[in-house]
Chains A and B, each alone.
Chain A
Amino acid sequence: MDRDTDWDGVRLHVVTGKGGTGKTTVAAALALALASGGRKVLLVEVEGRQGIAQVFDLPPLPYEERRIAVAPGGGDVYALAVDPEEAMLEYMEMFYGMRRAGRALTRMGIVDFATTVAPGFRDVLVTGKTTEAVRRKDRSGRRVYDAVVLDAPPTGRITRFLNVTQEVAGLAKVGPIKNHSELVAGVLKSPETAVHFVTLLEEMPVQETLDGITELRSAGLPSGGVFINMVRESLLPQAALDSAVKGTFDVAELALGLKAAGLADGPDDATEIAEALLEEVVEHARRTELEHRERATLAEAGAPRYELPLLADGVDLAGLYELAETMRIQGAA
């Protein structure tokens, strides 16, 4: 089923990004893009925010894999909202046949234990559930999902989140949790996994992305691509942008144009409107300049980059398909 994308052979796509960069939207669009052409993809969220349901405009998702969207050219996107408590009960039942004891543990506050005192345990449970879906096979021995997309915690926490063996090793040197974490790490550190970063062309998100990639690589985790989200197309020619920054923009010509378009009541009004518009032009030019710089900075990371447009009407379902198509064209899926 390979189809010459930048990530052939990758089955687990982990998507991270600084808050406010549109991580969940990108994860959802990536799942659609990967599913297109008749494939089956699972989209997983782990932070209990019900972000997937919101993006797809659905009621809250249960802890259950269910089909939520059909991809272009056939193909299915399934979604799963992992709940650490449920994942723990499932884990206990699956590996130890202990359903009843699990319920008792829940009542005793074991979940507070897992999520508060030792988040390493919680992380190994949710990444464990995710990697299980990656490895799962049907009766004929074929993988159930062609790909799994994980809407992961933000950039600041991603390495800690994925570095499960490290996190758990400090707590459990031997024992079942330790063994389980090694199984999970086997998938996360393999070439079957890629960790993608979502960023905006702004200073702080770009810096966090570079820091995140460095941290990830030094932990031996596989870094993937960089999705530059909400890119605004530059509507003005470069010469106009340059002159706006230099302060030599031809306001008189702009005023003439406004008159020609019938937008001004007389020459004074035309100048007034032109001056106001110039403010917008200068700001746009400065921001464009900054975006060029940030783009160049991102290039230093040496990771494939994909640009996703800012959707004028916000992200709705149609917008998701548009983003998915953009990803396909650029070879991300």
Chain B
Amino acid sequence: MTKAAPVLDIDAILDDRATRIIVCCGSGGVGKTTTAAALGLRAAERGRCAVVLTVDPARRLAQSMGLTELDNTPRLVARTEAGGQLYAMMLDMKRTFDEIIEAHADPERARQILSNPFYQSLSSSFSGTQEYMAMEKLGQLRRSDEWDLIVVDTPPSRSALDFLDAPERLGRFLDGRFIRLLTAPAKAGGRSAFRLLNAGLGLVAGAMTKLLGAQVIKDLQTFVSALDAVFGGFRQRAEMTYRLLQAHGTAFLVVAAPERDAMREAAYFVERLAEERMPLAGLVVNRVHVSPLTRLSAARSTAAAEDLEAKGEHELTAAVLRLHAARMQLAAREGRERDHFVSAHPTVPVVQVPAMWHDVHDLDGLREIGTLLAKTA
């Protein structure tokens, strides 16, 4: 490492009993879910009772933890010698949403909501709802107090930031003036905040009907008033979870791969977490290419290969030297991406996890990742 960042001490975080929630976030395809699972296993092997909440239905990884079904309930994966336990679950967002409705509505009203086309779109869509339900589930797990550590893997959003925005956005929408307008335009007219908009109300209502069709508006109105009568505090719920994330005991880990896009997203995320005053623990850089022979540079290796090739001898050695040069070149490029990040965020602790040539298939693989994560040297 040419620029030194503070080292992220994973074991210190896992061993601190005050750590109750670890949130892994970052852009898609950087190994977030694997990192979350490896952290959960390592925590359990250090005596914690941990649950990993994943939203990524990658089958192989689920199998590696012995999870085969999407049933929205934490399942015991392993009991460890240290007296710890590892549970894991995959988020079923529709099921989670249905359960909220069922818990808060009488059966008749619940049936009305569950069969509404808007509810079905909202509860099974991948935009916003998944983030919201992940947060809802996290809140539920935390309140149950059955686990002393919850490791959560955030949804593979188009942008990692949706994760912070979505609950607020969904809450604001369901609680917002647009919905009030839709459900009770007459009432809205009496409130001062709407006075200025009044002239536009007819226009808006007309446009909505023209754009969406009368039936859609009617379905939406039914849906909203049914939901509204069940529980008025969607936004309040979102805010509760938001505060839970800000609280002492939560640690955010930003996960990245040493590539430009992923590191850029990571930097953006680090800045955003600071803005939201979310407790950032550090950056995990996955899939870093390392060499056991860093003293032989790419340039020297290439020159030696050329020399051998020119002489027409030791073909195999020349080929191996070229392989090494390519690896060193890749390592250098990755190092530059990492250095950009460190220059801009010199106080953020970083840990690097070397690339493995295969995916993780079982607990042994997860354990290996955990060991690499905790390597502080």
Using a CB–CB cutoff of 8 Å, the interface residues on chain A facing chain B are: 18-21, 47-49, 51, 54, 92, 96, 98, 100-102, 104-105, 107-110, 112-113, 115-120, 122, 153-154, 156-157, 160, 167, 170-178, 202-205, 207, 232, 235-237, 240, 250, 253-254, 256-258, 260-263, 273, 276-277, 279-281, 283-284, 286-287, 290, 312-314
Given the interface pairs A273-B293, A312-B329, the reply to whether A171 lies near B121 with Cβ below 8 Å is: yes
Q: A157 CA to B28 CA in the complex, in Å?
A: 13
Whether the pair B323, A280 counts as a contact (CB closer than 8 A) is: yes
Size bracket, chain B contacts:
35 or more
CB-nearest residue of chain B relative to A282? B357
CA distance A154 to B318 in the complex (A): 41
A171 to B320, CA, bound (A): 60
Contact check, B173 vs A113: say whether CB atoms are below 8 A apart. yes
> Is B296 among interface residues, defined by CB-CB distance under 8 A?
yes
Please state if A104 and B207 are interface contacts (CB–CB under 8 Å). yes
B:260-306 near A, CB below 8 Å: 260-262, 264, 291-293, 296, 300, 304-305
B316 touches A253 (CB 8 A): yes
Which B residues are CB-close (under 8 A) to A279? Answer: 292
A47: which B residues are within 8 A, CB to CB? 158-159
Contact partner of A157 (CB less than 8 A), chosen from B126, B197, B216, B304, is B126
A100 lies within 8 A of B203 (CB): yes
Give the docked Cα–Cα distance between A256 and B30 (Å): 40
Interface of A: prevailing SS: helix
What chain A residues lie within 8 Å of B319 (beta carbons)? Answer: 235-237, 240
C-alpha spacing A101/B178, complex, angstroms: 14
Please give, as numbers and ranges, the residues of chain A lying within 8 Å of B191 by CB-CB distance. none
Which of the residues A51, A236, A263 comes within 8 Å of B304, measured between beta carbons? Answer: A263
> Chain A residues with Cβ under 8 A from B329's Cβ?
312
- Contact yes or no, B121 A120, CB < 8 A: yes
**Are A287 and B357 in contact, with the CB atoms below 8 A?**
yes
Candidates A154, A171, A172, A204; contact of B58 at CB < 8 Å: A204
Q: Across the two chains, which residue of chain B brings its CB closest to A234?
A: B323
Give Cα A118–Cα B227 distance, bound, in whole angstroms.
16
Q: Determine the main DSSP class of B at the interface with A.
A: helix
Pairwise interchain contact B261-A117, C-beta atoms closer than 8 A: no
In-complex Cβ contact of B173 among A20, A109, A153 (8 A): A109
Instruction: Give B residues with C-beta under 8 Å from A.
Output: 27-30, 58-60, 117-118, 120-122, 125-128, 156, 158-159, 166, 169-170, 172-173, 176-178, 181, 197, 200, 203-204, 206-208, 210-216, 219, 257, 259-262, 264, 291-293, 296, 300, 304-305, 307-308, 311, 313-314, 316-324, 326-327, 329-330, 333, 357-359
CA distance A258 to B304 in the complex (A): 8
Known: A101-B203, A279-B292, A312-B326. 18 other contacts (CB 8 A): A98-B210, A101-B204, A108-B178, A109-B172, A112-B169, A112-B172, A119-B128, A167-B121, A177-B211, A203-B359, A207-B59, A256-B314, A260-B313, A277-B293, A281-B323, A284-B323, A290-B357, A314-B333
Given A18-B28, A119-B125: A176 in contact with B212 (beta carbons within 8 A): yes
Measured CA separation A207–B127 after assembly (Å): 23
Q: Which residue of A lies closest to B203 (CB)?
A: A101
Q: Which residues of B contact A100 (CB under 8 A)?
A: 203
CB-defined contacts of B204 to chain A, threshold 8 Å: 101, 104-105, 108
A residues within 8 A CB of B128?
115-116, 119
Give the shortest distance, in Å, between B29 (CB) and chain A (any CB).
2
Determine whether the beta carbon of B260 is less than 8 Å from that of A314. Answer: yes
**A104-B200, A118-B121, A172-B213 known; A261+B317 contact, CB < 8 A:** yes
- Tell me which residues across on chain A come within 8 A of B207, comparing CB atoms: 92, 96, 98, 101-102, 104-105
